[in-house]
Amino acid sequence: MEIIQLQNIKKHYGEKVVFQDVNLNISAGFFTVLRGESGAGKSTLLNLIGGLEMPTSGQIIVDGKDVGNLTAKDRTNFYRHEIGIIFQGSYLQPQFTLLENITLPGVFAGMPEAERKTRAEQLAQMLGISDNLKYLPKEVSGGQAERACIARALLLSPKIILADEPTSNLDEDNAKTVLEILNYVRQQMGVTIIIASHSRDVLEFATQVVTVRGGIVTSELSNTAAMQDNQKATNDVQRTI
Amino acid sequence: MTFKELFRLSHREFTVYKTRSRATIVTIGILFGVLLAALLIFQGLENTTLKYAKDATNGEVYLASSYDKASLVSDRIQKFGGVVATLNDEQKAEIGEEIPESVIIAKFSSLDKAYEYYSKSDKKDLHYNSDDYQIVELFSNQIGVYKYFRDKNKDFIRPISLVLVAVSAFILAFTMAHLIASSTKTFVLYRSIGASKGQLLLIYFAYLLELCVWAAIFAIALALVLAGIATAVCWKQLLIQLATIYPSAPNFWPILIGVNLQCVEVILCMFLAAPVSFLLCLDQFSSKKIAQKLKGD
């Protein structure tokens, strides 16, 4: 089942054409990798899917909703329940502890304090950062901060995670761990993962590879093992941890 | 989102942009502090001078009036709560000259009422010629002091306070615009993790209010210090002058710190600047602007 559909998408910045007539489908439970050189438009494509930028023309359907025509209230609900975004460079609020950062979506969504704390602790346990929750972002390693970002994105149990270069600032070992965690989240929670990355390591986990080059977007399914894994994940969706 | 959480998030902006926040507080605080100090000193001077003037006549205001129609004068005195008085010998001696019989002496126990009578604001209603209607204050000049400070307020303090409000609103708006321009990532982050546009607006509005609260505290402290300095510098000279003008009034140490409604108005103006500047920046919160800035980052 397709959870994301991009139909005849055009994106211009003034005279500059970024995308010309892009059509793309992403199925639920996929681990989709957006590949391409720097400046090719990977982040823009991610922002379009996430509704952070609007296409010049065309339609983006995410879980049956036209992202371009959401009302303000629907857009807020879209970010609360449909999408979790992990920004490039583990963007955490520097004045808040990891726990406070992770629970931030719950604050906006009006989740009771005790509930969001329990949920954050469960996620931290799963992601291996439960001992670091009381620290500020500057007091933990890049890998731990990245995991906190993943936990924050997962707090409200979204159906889709968008991650922009989540491993760009990490060493090889930490990068691999973060990718394994995202794949684990996909398998255990049935979350669709879309990663923009130019790293080759990420391909190991991909079920779909989308290549962005010169304003043209091409898509191909990836290795069989990952696809079988994907089938298992979509059949066995666990919405709770 | 509870108030506690709202202020925690808004306070984050304050701590992240500490230097700029402090610069804004000091700038606005100085602008309003100087204005507040002027108000405190003027009111303090007015209070002191009026107290001396009142003490000279035991708090009563004596006004000598003359007009062709004596009945109109009597009616007006009664209308404004005064009584027609007869001067005793001691008072006559103090004046030092004979008062014509056509002159009516009125005694008021309230300065406000006496001023209303003196200002002749009812001349159109009662159809009399105010130029021919002569009124002179006897024994002290409470009316003169009252009028002097009232006019200074109208001609000097009020226009300046309006200009300062406009300047401070401009500084606040500039700070906000700068803050918003440099907060694009925070906006995008908050939006992408489920903050509604209203919640974003509230966070930044609360930040602005926090700036105003600190600026108000700074302004009040600065005004008190300046007024205190003015008192320390001027009190001796002032004491000599007051004692010369009102020799019969008992001496007391003049304090040039007085609070009036206008001080409260000035403080309120500071808080008025917050929503005004916020309205100027409202368009910065639109999703379209945020998306544009996201690309610009």
CA distance A132 to chain B (A): 21
Q: Which of A61-65, B44-48, B66-70, B247-251 has the lowest mean pLDDT?
A: B247-251
Listed ranges A100-114, B134-148, B182-196; the one with the highest mean pLDDT:
A100-114
Q: What is the mean pLDDT of chain B?
A: 82
Nearest to B145 by CA among B115, B108, B107, B113: B115
**Structural domains of chain A, ranges and CATH numbers in brackets:** 2-90+158-240 (3.40.50.300)
Q: What is the mean pLDDT of chain A?
A: 85
Out of A80, A87, A95, name the one closest to residue B194 (CB): A80
Tokens, residue B153: 């307020």
Residues of B in contact with A108 (CB under 8 A): 1, 190, 193-196, 199
Q: What are phi and psi of B135, to 5 degrees?
A: -130, 130
> For the segment B200-217, what is each residue's pLDDT rounded down to a tens digit?
888 888 888 888 899 899
Asked if the model's pLDDT at residue A241 lies above 60, the reply is: no
Out of B5, B16, B189, name the one closest to residue A107 (CB): B5
Asked if the model's pLDDT at residue A98 lies above 90, the reply is: yes
Residue of higher predicted confidence among B132 and B161: B132
Name the β-bridge partners of A59: A7
Asked if the model's pLDDT at residue A225 lies above 80, the reply is: no
ipTM above 0.85, yes or no: no
What whole-number distance in Å separates Cα of residue A202 and Cα of residue B116?
86
Ordered DSSP codes for A98-124: HHHHHHHHHHHHT--HHHHHHHHHHHH
Residues of A in contact with B196 (CB under 8 A): 72-73, 76, 108
Residue A153: how many other CB atoms lie within 10 Å: 27
Question: Does B186 contact chain A (CB < 8 Å)?
Answer: yes
Asked if the model's pLDDT at residue B140 lies above 80, the reply is: no
Q: Which residue of A has its CA nearest to B14?
A: A95
In this prediction, residue A118 has a pLDDT band, given cuts at 50, 70 and 90, of very high
**What is the three-state SS of A63-80?**
CCEEHHHCCHHHHHHHHH
The confidence score (pLDDT) of residue A234 equals 47
Sheet holding A216-221, edge to edge: A83-86, A160-164, A192-196, A31-35, A208-213, A216-221
Contact A156 B16 (CB under 8 A): no
Asked if the model's pLDDT at residue A20 lies above 60, the reply is: yes
The confidence score (pLDDT) of residue A90 equals 62
CA distance A62 to chain B (A): 15
Contact A19, A215 (CB under 8 A): yes
Asked if the model's pLDDT at residue A114 lies above 70, the reply is: yes
Question: Does B189 contact chain A (CB < 8 Å)?
Answer: yes
The confidence score (pLDDT) of residue A239 equals 36
The confidence score (pLDDT) of residue B297 equals 46
